[in-house]
Structure 1
Amino acid sequence: MKNLIKDLKTFMILWSTQSLSQLGSAMTSFALTLWIYEKTGSALQTALLSICSYAPYVLMSIFAGALSDKWNKKKVMLVCDTFAACCTIMVLVLLKTDLLKPVHIYVLNIINGLMNTMQQPASDVAMTMITPKKYYQKTSGMRSFSNSLITILNPVLATALFAFGGMEIVICADLTTFVIAFMALLFGVTLPDISNEDVEGKGSLSESVKSGLKYLKEHELILTLILFLAGVNFVASAFDAVLPALILPKENGGEKVLGLVTSCAGIAMLTGSFIVTLLPKPQNRIRVIYLTMLISLGTENYLLAFGRTPALWCLGQIIGWLPVPIMSANLDVILRATIPVKMQGRVYSCRNTLQFFTIPFGMFMGGFMVDKICEPVMASDFAKGLLTILFGNGKGSGAAMMMFLLGVIGTVICLGFGRVLRKYKYTD
C-alpha cells in the first residue's frame, strides 16, 4: 500500500483536484440545462447547450492533439482552465445584470468547447506520464470512480444550491473548485520530461495531424473500436437530449425526479468503477467492450421507453450505466498500452474527432425528433390505440417513443460491430 501511494502521489493530486473542478463545472451545466428548459420548453434548444460545447471540440480536436504534443502539457491545462473560468464569470455577470439569454450561453459554451479541445489531450497524456504502466487499469477505474461520483453529486448539489441561493451560488461553487484545481496543478504537480525528439514535433502541424491519422489507419483494431464507440456515442447523446423531455413534463416527474434519475446513473457508474478496480485482467478485453455496450444500450432505452414510474426510470439508468466503467477501463488499457506516449496527444485527438463527431448529431437528432416528429405524432389521432398503450399520452409520450427507437438503433449497432470485432485479438 505504501508503494502504491508513493508511486501514484502525483496522479492522486492531479486526479482529485481536477475531478473536483469537473464537479463544479457539471453543477453549473446541470443548472443551466434546467434554466434553458424552463425558459423555452424545447428539447432541441436544451440540446443545443451541449451541441455548442461538442461541435468545436469535434471540429478542432484533430489539430489540438498535434499542438498538444508540441506544447508543454501543464501550461496548456492551466491556460485552458483559466479561459473556461472566465466564461463562467461572464455567465454570472450577465445573470446578475438580468441580461442572460440562451444565445449567450450557447456562445460561451462554444468557447468552453474550444478550451476543452486543447485541455483534454494534454490532460490524457499528463495522466499517462505520471502513471506507471502496471497501474493503468487501477487508475482507469479510479478515473471512472470520480466521473461516477460527479454524475451522482452534481444534480443533487446543483439542485440544493440553486434552491438555497439561486444560479449565482452554483456558479460561485464552480469557481471555487476551479481555484483549488488551478493552484494544485500550478504548485503541486510536476510532469516528467519525455526524452524523445519527436515530442517537440519538428514537422509542421499538418504533418503531425497526418501522423496521427496514419497511426490509426495502420492499427485496424484501434480504428474499429473508435468507430464502434462513435456509434455508441450517437445513441447515448441522443438519449441525453431526450431524457429531460421525457421526465420534466410528467406529473410524476419534474426537476427533482430528473436529478434523482441522473444520480442513479452516477451510482451505477460508481459501482461499476469499484468492480473494475477489483476485477482481474480479462482474457479478452475486446469482447468485454462490445458486450458491456450491448447490455447497456439494449436495456436502458427500452426500460425508459415503456416505464411509467420513477422507479423504472432509475432501474433503467442503473442497468444502462453499470457496464460503462468496465468498458472504459478496458478501452483505456488498450489505448495507453498500444499508442506510444510521444504520439498519444495527436492520436488521442484524432480518436476524439472520429469517436465524438457523432455526439452533436445525436443531440440534434434527439431534440429534433422529439419536438418535430415524435411529440406531434403522439398528440395526433394516429397515436390512439397501440402507440398510446406503449408510450402513454400527453407531453413526454413522444420522448418515450424516441427512447424506443434509440433502443433499436443501439442494439443493431452493438450486434453489427460485435461481428466485426470478433476477428481481432489483443493481448496485454
Structure 2
Amino acid sequence: MKRHLNTHAMGPFLLLWLTQSFSTLGSSMTSFALVVWSYQNSGSALTTALLSVCSYAPYILMSVFAGALSDRWDKKRVMLFSDTFAACCTAAVLILLEGGGLRIWHLYLLNSLSGLMNTFQQPASEVAVSLLAPQDQYQKVGALRSLSNSLNSILAPALASALFALAGLRVVILFDLATFLVAFGTLLFRIAIPPAPGAAGEGERLFRAAGAGLRYLRENRGILHLILFLAAINFTASVYNAALPALLLSPRGGGEQVYGIVNTVSGAAMLAGSLLAAILPPPRSRVRVICNALLLTMGTENLLLALGRDLPVWCLGAILGWVGIPIMNTNLDALMRGVIPIPMQGRVYSARNTLQFFTIPLGYTLGGLLVDKLFEPLMAAQGPGALLARLFGTGKGAGAALLFFLLSLLGTVTCLVFRADRRIWDLERGREGE
C-alpha cells in the first residue's frame, strides 16, 4: 500500500480541505467572539452556554432526516446552500449589531438555524470527502482533517480575541464572511464532486429513508457499538468541559492565565498528535489504536487535574490527554469510511450524529449541577485533616477536583468495557485497501 501523499489524486480534496478549513476558522472566531460578547452583556455562564446548546439541538433532533435528504440530493448543492444560509445568519448578526438591536435571543435563534443547516452540510461534506479522496489515502485524509481542527483550536481563540479587543465584534464577523466567500467561490467554480454510486435511497419515502441509517446500524452492530462507545466518551468529556473552568479559574487553580495556558497546551498537543498521525503508517489494528488512545486520554488527564496542585502537572495532563485524540480520530475516520458503503454514508453519519452527540448537552448540564450543587458543598464541609481535603485540597475548586477524580475512573472503566466488545473488534474484518 502507498504510504506517501499522492497530491495529484488528492488535488480536489486538498483544495476543498484548505478552503473549508479557512471558512471553519472564520466561523469558529465568530462563535468565540459571540461567547465573549454574550458574557460581557449578560454576566451569566448559563446564558452563554445556551449558545452551544442551540447549535447542538438540531443535530440531535434532525440529523436522521437530514441525512436521508442529503443522500438523495447533489452533495455540492447541499454544501453550497447550507454554507450560504449559515453565512446569511452571520450577516444578520452583523446587521443587528450595526443597528444597535442585537439581543441574546437573536443569537439563540440564529445559532439554531445555523445548526440546522450544518445538520445537512455535515453528512454531505463527509460523503464528498469519500468521493474526492482515494480510498488508500483515507488515513492521510483523517490526519489532515485532524491537523486543521487542531490549528483551529489554537488560532481561533487567539485571533478572535485580538480582533475583538482591537476592532470589536464587527471586524470578526466581516473576517468570517470573507472566509465564506473564499470557500464558496472555490467550491462553486473549482471543485467537481462526482455523484455517489448507487441509488442512495431514491424512490423511498422520507421516513423509511431516514430510518435506513438506523437500520444499517442495527444490522451492523460493530459500528453501532463503536458509536455508543464514543457517545459514552462524549458524556465524560462534556462533564470535563463543564467542570474545567470551575477548577482552573478558582483560587485553587490560579485564575484566567492558568486556564488559558492549559487550553493552549491542549491545542498544541492536538497539533503534535495531528502531525504524528500524518506521518505514521496505517496500523495493523485501527480498533486497538482507537481504544488505547481513548484509554490514555481518559485515564491520565482527569487524574492529573484532580490530584495536581500546580501548572506543570496540569500541563502534563493536558499533553497526555490530547496528543492521542487526533490519532484516534484519524483511525476512526479511516475505519468508518472503509466499512460503511458510500451510498449509505450520509444517512449513517446522520444517525451517528444523533446517537453520538445527544450525550453532550446532558454532560454539560450534569457537570455544572454536580460541581455547584454536590461536590463543592461536599468539599466545603470537609475539615482540613479529612482524607478528601488532603487528596483534593480545600476551598473553591476542590469539589471540581474530586469530580475529575471520579471522571478518571468512569472514563477508564468505559474504555475497558468497550475494549472487550467483540462486535467492535469484528470491524477489522471489514477493512479494505490495507
TM-score w.r.t. structure 2 length? 0.90
Residue 181 of structure 1 deviates from its aligned partner by 1.2
Match of 1:137 among 121, 139, 156: 139
Distance 1:310 1:90, change over 3 A: farther
Distance in 1 (CA, whole Å) between partners of 2:299 and 2:124 is 34
Does the Cα contact within 8 Å between 1:47 and 1:367 map onto a contact in 2?
no
2:74 paired with 1:67: no
Gaps of 5+ in 1: none
2:314 paired with 1:313: yes
Residue 38 of structure 1 deviates from its aligned partner by 4.7
Does the Cα contact within 8 Å between 2:252 and 2:398 map onto a contact in 1?
no
- Secondary structure of the residue aligned to 1:282 is coil
Residue 253 of structure 1 deviates from its aligned partner by 4.5
Distance in 2 (CA, whole Å) between partners of 1:179 and 1:405 is 46
Distance in 2 (CA, whole Å) between partners of 1:181 and 1:125 is 18
Distance in 2 (CA, whole Å) between partners of 1:159 and 1:363 is 24
Distance in 2 (CA, whole Å) between partners of 1:401 and 1:350 is 35
Distance 1:46 1:421, change over 3 A: farther
How many residues matched?
426
Distance in 2 (CA, whole Å) between partners of 1:42 and 1:63 is 34
Does the Cα contact within 8 Å between 1:65 and 1:346 map onto a contact in 2?
yes
Deviates further, 77-86 or 95-104: 95-104
- Secondary structure of the residue aligned to 1:199 is coil
Distance 1:109 1:244, change over 3 A: farther
Distance in 1 (CA, whole Å) between partners of 2:300 and 2:282 is 26
2:202 paired with 1:204: no
Match of 1:76 among 75, 78, 86: 78
Residue 362 of structure 1 deviates from its aligned partner by 1.1
Does the Cα contact within 8 Å between 2:376 and 2:398 map onto a contact in 1?
yes
Amino acid at match of 1:313: W
Distance 1:362 1:4, change over 3 A: same
Report the equivalent of 2:159: 157
Distance 1:358 1:16, change over 3 A: same
Report the equivalent of 1:333: 334
Amino acid at match of 1:366: G
Distance 1:337 1:423, change over 3 A: closer
Deviations 1:186-231 (A, max 9, x none): 11211012343x1362111111122222211111111111110110
Does the Cα contact within 8 Å between 1:272 and 1:325 map onto a contact in 2?
yes
Deviations 1:36-60 (A, max 9, x none): 4455555544432222211221111
Deviations 1:266-304 (A, max 9, x none): 211211112122222222211111111011011111222
Residue 360 of structure 1 deviates from its aligned partner by 1.4
Residue 8 of structure 1 deviates from its aligned partner by 0.9
- Secondary structure of the residue aligned to 1:8 is helix
2:363 paired with 1:362: yes
Does the Cα contact within 8 Å between 1:43 and 1:245 map onto a contact in 2?
no
Amino acid at match of 1:202: G
Report the equivalent of 1:411: 412
Does the Cα contact within 8 Å between 1:47 and 1:364 map onto a contact in 2?
no
The root-mean-square deviation of aligned C-alpha atoms, in Å, is 2.4
Distance in 1 (CA, whole Å) between partners of 2:243 and 2:312 is 18
TM-score w.r.t. structure 1 length? 0.92
Distance in 2 (CA, whole Å) between partners of 1:301 and 1:57 is 28
Residue 383 of structure 1 deviates from its aligned partner by 6.3
Distance 1:84 1:241, change over 3 A: farther
Amino acid at match of 2:299: G
Distance in 2 (CA, whole Å) between partners of 1:29 and 1:356 is 19
Deviations 1:67-105 (A, max 9, x none): 100111111111111222222223334444444444333
Deviates further, 205-214 or 400-409: 400-409
Q: Counterparts in 2 of 1:278-317, with a 5 A limit? A: 278-317=279-318
Report the equivalent of 1:146: 148
Distance in 1 (CA, whole Å) between partners of 2:402 and 2:35 is 22
Does the Cα contact within 8 Å between 1:234 and 1:359 map onto a contact in 2?
yes
Deviates further, 22-31 or 32-41: 32-41
- Secondary structure of the residue aligned to 2:425 is coil
Distance in 1 (CA, whole Å) between partners of 2:277 and 2:5 is 21
Residue 318 of structure 1 deviates from its aligned partner by 1.6
Residue 158 of structure 1 deviates from its aligned partner by 1.8
Report the equivalent of 1:217: 218
Amino acid at match of 1:261: V
Distance 1:105 1:311, change over 3 A: farther
Deviates further, 304-313 or 263-272: 304-313
- Secondary structure of the residue aligned to 2:200 is helix
